[in-house]
Chain A
Amino acid sequence: MLAGFQGLALAALGARLYYLSVVNGEKYRLRADKNRISIRLIAPERGEIFDRNGEKLATNTQDLRVLLVPEQTDQLQPTLKKVQEIIEIDDRRLARIERRIKRQRQFVPVTLAQGLDWQTFSRLNVEIPRLPGVQTDAGLSRLYPGGNSIAHLIGYMSSPDEEDVAKSPLYQLPGFKVGRQGLERRYEPQLRGASGTRRVEVNSVGREIRELPPREEAARGGDLHLTLDMALQRYVVEQLGEEAAGVVVLDVASGDVLAMASSPGYDPNEFTRGISNANWQSLLKDPRSPLLNKSVSGQYPPGSTIKMIVALAALEQGLISADSTYFCNGKHRLGNHTFHCWQNRGHGKMDMMEAVANSCDVYFYKVAEKLDIDLIADMAKRFGLGATFDIGVDGEKEGLVPTRSWKRIYQQQSWQLGETLNVAIGQGAMLATPLQLAVMTARLATGMAVVPRLVNGDQDVAAFFPTLDVNPFHLATVQRTMAMVMEPGGTAHDYARKKSAIAQAGKTGTAQVRRITLEERAGDGGVIDNAELPWKSRDHALFVGYAPVETPRVAVSVVVQHGGGGSSVAAPLARKIMDFTLAEKPKSPTPAGQV
């Protein structure tokens, strides 16, 4: 009987065995494969960013780093302690790592340290067996050789957050970064590339044992070619020095942005490495706002640089001719309000050439009295003010071109003639960005609706812009007034033209940021000199220009925040920048002057 029981039990075991391995064998074989085979992503190499001459603006360098997979470590603290014996991790960083480990999903690797040298890296590799969950990784890290001179355009990379991870599984890869700002963010899909896959056999804790073919390689991200000329960009940044300024240099024929600088800058490499809190705070608190890309995000009153637009509007309306003259005695009365010329004692009798060359305000008050604000606004918009061009960098602002309807909608008031007078000298509500001013200048220089572009500098887009449809004689008149600015007697001659071999055209602008009271004007010293004012109260210095006068190739705009006078501060900078640009051999893939 016992033997029977035994036989029965053995038969039961055999039946179960048969059931598992034969009847359900296929199912369990699949599950065993699912257990052991893991599909791993291969990180693609990120595309690089080049300037128009093939100089690297963003590239990848090998980065030796050490990672920790929280899930695979049995005891976090002792493991971290052991790693600390080999590499230095300061307490604050350690605290940050621990916070991240708590926050993240446990299988996402956390970077403990990066940028290791070979010696430390090999020591770590030797110690790996007694450091559960710790991995070393020779990955790629983003490097910006241009440093702070192009930070505002390129942006930077940082670790992906939960939102990114939801978009693509690639972002879960250790050390994989996502473009955070500027071109890096805007062109993220193109630069990132496509992940490859490989099948690996893993053991129960997920450690790789071997790779099983086939392997699908990752597709490298596409490169980005900019229209930027890095040599020029560096020169511009160097010239700006410590000033808070925005500069844009355009190729007038193609609209290529040759330089787009904002000063002061910051080092994007610091963000890629993980910026320290102290440095971040100092960037945030700096009154010269280094994080702001002033060339597209800075909105300034255009000052006298708007005068060409006002003159052109009046000419097009047939209200005045180039020869029409007005008398400037230093002030202009409208009702019971007095409008002052910057030249207190007055300019005397002025025609349009002299008025622009001297930047006479009274002349433009009188012209503006005849003009409707909407006519000025219309002309300003035709020349690119109030518009964005979507060139690919962050924070492009629209500026402001005030109109009657704008005032009705936003201030629930009707337009006053006095405001037109203010706008006519570039004060009042009107605002423009350096990019818009550069576009305006390029359009004044060519009469074409030049559109700026920054990316795809390698692609030869047909740069035939439509005409702006203004009377060529009127345009030529305005162009001549701009040339006069640089001639003897013009506001920029002494500061700029006489030092240059190339004939340039331009216009100075000085934008007030404070209200000048009657008492101050009447006082002994007259209007207080910029140098005696606190930085925040000083005028913005502006200059727009193009060169050469006869066959324009380059347009430039310079805005120096609280820099003082447009003649003394902005004009010399613009002169140097134009000289530098034209002195370079034309290497542009879209040759200038082809139009």
Chain B
Amino acid sequence: MEAFPVPLKIIMEAVKHFINAIASPKILFNIVFLFYLIVFPPFKFFQRIHDALGIDRLWTKRGGIFIFSLMFLAFAFGLTDANFRLIVLKPDNVPIVALLFLVVFFLWFAMTQAKENDEAIAKGDKPKEYADSREKVLVFPDLVYIEFLCLIFVAVLLAVWAIGLPAPLEQPANPTVSPNPSKAPWYFLGLQEMLVYFDPWIAGVVLPTAILLGLMCIPYIDKNRKGLGYYTYQDRKMAINTFMFFWLVLWMFLIFIGTFLRGPNWSFFGPFEYWDHNKLEVLNNINLSQYVFMIWLKQGMPSNILLREAPGFLVLAVYFGLLPAIFAKTIFKDLYQRIGGIRYSIFVVFLLMALALPIKMYLRWLFNIKYIIAIPEFFFNI
């Protein structure tokens, strides 16, 4: 770091410390969640903030330049730090860095076209794909040519990548020496991150199954017939706002945390922090049943398992049994009438399962709750 004069160095260190501090999951999740709520506002309240801030301006050429300058600047600044380079430039992490840039780029690309189309539709015109779609072109050579160019571009990209970056090969497999941290392949790190808040049977089996079933259900739940075959936001606001919560917050962001911010013992580390194996994290989490019986009622734990975990079962029953009905009468009243009971039930159950993750996060951060229902006798912990 000799290249920089001393005052600049001090400022840079201060900035790094600040970023390390706000990168803690407790803070960063809130920031990202707030960002999501403002950029893709699911509620009227956030819509007003969205309008007041003029978020729509992001989906223009200037907005794009702004987003990408910010991302590249942040990345370039990070690269001046040795600890940051160590993690980000690990050969297997290169695709994730690429993925983050690509997802942001294509998000901007789709939303910019959506904005153009929405403005045209608002004026009573057709989306720009409409005029194009009236004209027919021959697949040979028009499409085959474009495919061929794309193919050559990717082939060259792969060849350059392969020559420039050797595939990682670590020490030979040794079942007696486990590396710390042991990480799953990067596309499963979102699931591994969920292990912090849920037991493996939920984080590794139930939720992934729910994610896939939920994805498969999208076309059957979304009854909105508008917005087929062109980029649009206004014509299918609810679908896009909901999808972005899953895609950006629960999918991309969890992978980001799991890859870059989790070190030895799956402890949290800031992007400019050294991965110290001896970093301690206080684990003083307690179960809901202990809260109820020992702290509130000031008595011993009941010996009957069902009685002991009754508070948890009650919470779960209210969550999945009562909340959908309450939502149907309140915030999702329109939706319920539009898509009907069966579609609504499926949608709400998947939504509640997804929301269970942030809820569990907040319960952990605010009340140190480990399990809502804890029956370790049958490995049944929620």
Asked if A pairs with B, the answer is no
Q: Which residues of A contact B (CB under 8 A)?
A: none
Q: Which residues of B contact A (CB under 8 A)?
A: none
